[in-house]
Amino acid sequence: MTRILILSGVNLGLLGQRQPEVYGTATLDDHIDSARSSADSLGVQIEHLQSDAEADIVRAIAAARRNSDAIIINPGAFTHYSWAIHDALAAFEGPVIELHLSNPNGREAWRHTSVVTPVATAVIAGLGGDGYALAVDAAVRLLRR
């Protein structure tokens, strides 16, 4: 069975509470449920990890090299400075979808730089929670090419 790892970075556990005017009122669990529904309809399995610790994300990416076919990652603030996540993703051989609820390029200038984008297969940004189901669909399409 196709397996997709969804990684959620720093502060994403606060979705639904943190800046709802930017990120909406849905929780991370709501978004993961949406991804799971999409995955179920496509016959794929989802595993999810949220962590505010960069090392946890890096370890999960390393493990994914053995047990996942694709990675969807919403790195949160790690997007802009985590070369450790960049390097770990560069070693992953399957598709990597970088995902953002908001559009980082439409926000503060410091959010315009992503160190994840150069190692991502695709980027989905600015579509809110719909991005999770779209990312699952995109990952499956890339795997089936």
Give the active site residues: 23, 100
Looking up tokens 């150069």, which residue turns up?
118
DSSP strand E in 9-143: where? 45-50, 70-74, 96-100, 122-125
DSSP strand E in the chain: where? 3-8, 45-50, 70-74, 96-100, 122-125
- CA-CA distance, 128 to 17, in Å (whole number)? 15
